[in-house]
Each structure stands twice: as C-alpha cells, then as structure tokens.
C-alpha cells in the first residue's frame, strides 16, 4: 500500500477556497444568477407566446431563405410536428429557451475573446491551454462548479451550458481572423489602414463564415449540454430523457430522444445555411 506518511490532501484547502469565494463574491454570483434567470424567463415567455404553427412558419421561411431548396424546406418544416404529436411541445420550448440564452451569452463573450487571442499572443498563451482543458473535460464535470456556485435549477443549467459551449466560438473566431490572406492584409495596410480599421473593415468581415460556423457549433454544443444539465434541474426535454432512464421506460425515452434530435437537426440546418449565404459571389455561383 502507499505509505500514509506521504499522503497529502488538498481537498480541505479547496473546500475553504470555495467557501471563501462564495462568501466574498456573494453579490457577484447573485447578480449573475439574476441576470441569467431574468433573460431565461423573458425568452421562455416570449417563445411561449407564439402558437405552434407560428414556429412551423418561421422554420419554413428561414429554411427557404437560407437553403433555397424545396425538399429541405418541406422536411424541416414538418419535423417539429413530430415533437407536438409526442406531446413534448412545451418541454421543447423550455429547452429551446435555455439553448438560446446560453448560446447568446456564449457568442457575446466568445467573439471578443476570439478577437483577443487572434490579436494578442500573450492572451492566446493563457486562453488556448484553458480551452484545450475545457474541451477534454467530460461534460458532467461542468455540473459541479455550476451546482456549487448557483445551487440547483435553471441558472446552473444555463451556466454549465455556457461554459461547455464557449470553446468553439472562441476558436473559430480566432481561426477565421488568422485565415484572412496575407495579400489582403498587406494591401489594406499599404492603403493606410490602422489596426482597428484592419480588424473592422477587412479581418472581421472575411472571418464571418468561420464565425458563423462557430455559432453553429456553439449552438449544437449547447443543445448537447442542455440534456445533461437536466440532472441539475435544467428541465425541458432533458428531464424527460432522464426520467425515462430512471424508470427504464424505453418508449418515452425514445420519444424524448427523437425530439432532441429533431431540434438539433433544425437548428443545425438553419445556422449552417446562414453561413453558406454569406460567402461573396464568385464566377461559379454568380
């Protein structure tokens, strides 16, 4: 056995640290919790006002605008009907609200962070390893700090989802900015572009396809996490899946699972179509 004399525990210090943080930053955590909850409730209410057919209409219009293909549009429009037929419409709306809230905050935080690491090697040196760490951790791990700082309920669910879905938007913003061709940057500099003008007029617009891909990835990650976050009170479709597992009720697990998949397909197709629309015309597709 390992000699007991060599054992050294850090768990006590960590517990103390967490205690101290909770105590010292009480006001901050409360503020964050309130902001997240307020936003989530607003989104949930707003989404609940719309009748079910309005969603079909919105999906139909967006699908047509972004893909311009009849088959895709019809399929995407009819898919949500299945969720309604399974009786999971309201839960799906709850899930959608959490996804939108989390993805929105992730994007709001992620794009500036992406710009920061693209522009500053020092910031990149700090943030990149952190992103590597975040992406190797199993999603369940994110539930722990969320529960510690925010207890159980919607807020920790959104918080864990934000943390989990943050890396792709940061990385793809960074990638998009770095992929801008050296020729174009050189030309803009030779015209007398300042660093800010270069970013605003050249790099960011050219990075948009990559940033949109990041938004797509972030939203998909948020959806994946929302299901897991049901374990700490996220509610929605995830809770339905969780309950089915607890009761070994394969049938309703299937219904809830399919609904999650449908939600994923629709969000994925719509955000991907958006990214394709953005590309400037070339000889081939003018």
Partner 1 sequence: MEKAIEVSRLWKIFGRDVDHIELNQETISQLEESDEYIAAVCDMSFSVNKGEVFVVMGLSGSGKSTLIRCLLRLIEPTAGSIRINGYDVCGLDQEELTKFRRQQVAMVFQHYGLLPHRTVLENVGFGLKLQGVPEKERLDLSHAWIERVGLQGFENYYPDQLSGGMQQRVGIARALACDPPVLLMDEPFSGLDPLIRREMQEQLCRLQHGMQKTIFFVTHDLEEGMRLGDRMAVMRGGRFVQIGTPEEIIANPADDYVASFVQDKRNASQEVELCSLKH
119 lies in the site for partner 1, by CB under 8 A: no
- C-alpha 18/C-alpha 14 separation (Å) is 6
Name the segment binding partner 1 (CB under 8 A); options: 12-20, 168-176, 185-193, 261-269: 185-193
Among 81, 148, 206, 258, binds partner 1 (CB under 8 A): 206
Interface pick for partner 1 out of 27, 51, 251, 281 (rule CB under 8 A): 281
d(CA 81, CA 265): 14
**Closer of 7 and 183 to partner 1 (Cβ):** 183
Between CA 126 and CA 128 the distance in angstroms is 6
For residue 36, what are the CA distances in angstroms to 23, 105, 113? 20, 9, 20
Q: Which is nearer to partner 1, 138 or 280 (CB)?
A: 280
Task: By CB under 8 A, tell whether 205 contacts partner 1.
Answer: yes
For partner 1, give the closer residue by CB, 94 or 210.
Answer: 210
User: CA-CA distance, 113 to 124, in Å (whole number)?
Assistant: 9
Is residue 111 within 8 A of residue 168, CB to CB? The reply is no
For the CA atoms of 228, 234, 235, 238, the dihedral, rounded to the nearest 10 degrees, stands at -10
**Tokens 């699908």 label which residue?**
63
Of 227, 214, 211, residue with least CA distance to 98: 227
DSSP calls for 108-148:
HHHHHHHHHHHH-HHHHHHHHHHHHHHHHS-GGGGHHHHHH
Q: Does 200 bind partner 1 (CB under 8 A)?
A: no
* Shortest reach from residue 35's CB to partner 1, in Å: 35
178 lies in the site for partner 1, by CB under 8 A: no
Among 193, 231, 258, 264, binds partner 1 (CB under 8 A): 193
Supply the minimum distance, in Å, between the C-beta of residue 177 and partner 1.
14
Which listed residue (109, 148, 189, 264) binds partner 1 by CB under 8 A? 189
Candidates 30-38, 57-65, 164-172, 189-197; binding stretch for partner 1 (CB under 8 A)? 189-197
Among residues 190, 246, 248, 251, which is the contact residue for partner 1, using CB under 8 A? 190
Q: Would you count residue 280 as binding partner 1 (CB under 8 A)?
A: yes
Q: How far is the CB of 206 from partner 1 (least distance, A)?
A: 6
Q: Least distance in Å: CB of 274 to partner 1?
A: 16
Angle subtended by helix axes 143-150 and 26-49, to nearest 10? 100
- Contact residues toward partner 1 (CB under 8 A) are 183-184, 186-194, 197, 201-202, 205-206, 208, 280-283, 286
């Amino acid at each position: 056995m390992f000699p007991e004399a060599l054992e050294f525990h850090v768990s006590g210090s960590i517990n103390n640290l967490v205690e101290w943080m909770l105590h010292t930053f009480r006001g901050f955590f409360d503020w964050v919790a309130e902001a997240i909850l307020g936003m989530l409730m607003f989104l949930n209410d707003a989404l609940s006002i719309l009748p079910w057919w309005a969603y079909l209409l919105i999906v139909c219009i967006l699908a047509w605008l972004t893909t311009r293909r009849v088959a895709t549009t019809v399929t995407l429009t009819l898919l949500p009907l299945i969720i309604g037929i399974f009786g999971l419409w309201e839960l799906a709306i709850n899930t959608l609200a959490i996804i939108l809230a989390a993805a929105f905050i992730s994007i709001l935080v992620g794009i500036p962070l992406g710009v920061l690491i693209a522009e500053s090697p020092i910031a990149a040196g700090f943030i990149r390893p952190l992103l590597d760490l975040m992406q190797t951790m199993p999603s369940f791990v994110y539930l722990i700090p969320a529960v510690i700082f925010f207890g159980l309920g919607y807020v920790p669910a959104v918080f864990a989802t934000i943390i989990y879905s943050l890396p792709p938007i940061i990385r793809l913003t960074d990638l998009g900015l770095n992929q801008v061709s050296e020729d174009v940057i050189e030309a803009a500099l030779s015209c007398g572009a300042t660093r800010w003008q270069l970013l605003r007029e050249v790099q960011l617009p050219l990075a948009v396809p990559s940033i949109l891909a990041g938004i797509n990835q972030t939203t998909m990650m948020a959806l994946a996490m929302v299901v897991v976050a049901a374990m700490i009170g996220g509610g929605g479709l995830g809770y339905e899946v969780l309950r089915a597992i607890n009761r070994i009720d394969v049938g309703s697990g299937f219904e809830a699972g399919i609904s999650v998949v449908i939600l994923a397909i629709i969000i994925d197709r719509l955000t991907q179509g958006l990214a394709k629309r953005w590309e400037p015309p070339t000889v081939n597709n003018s």
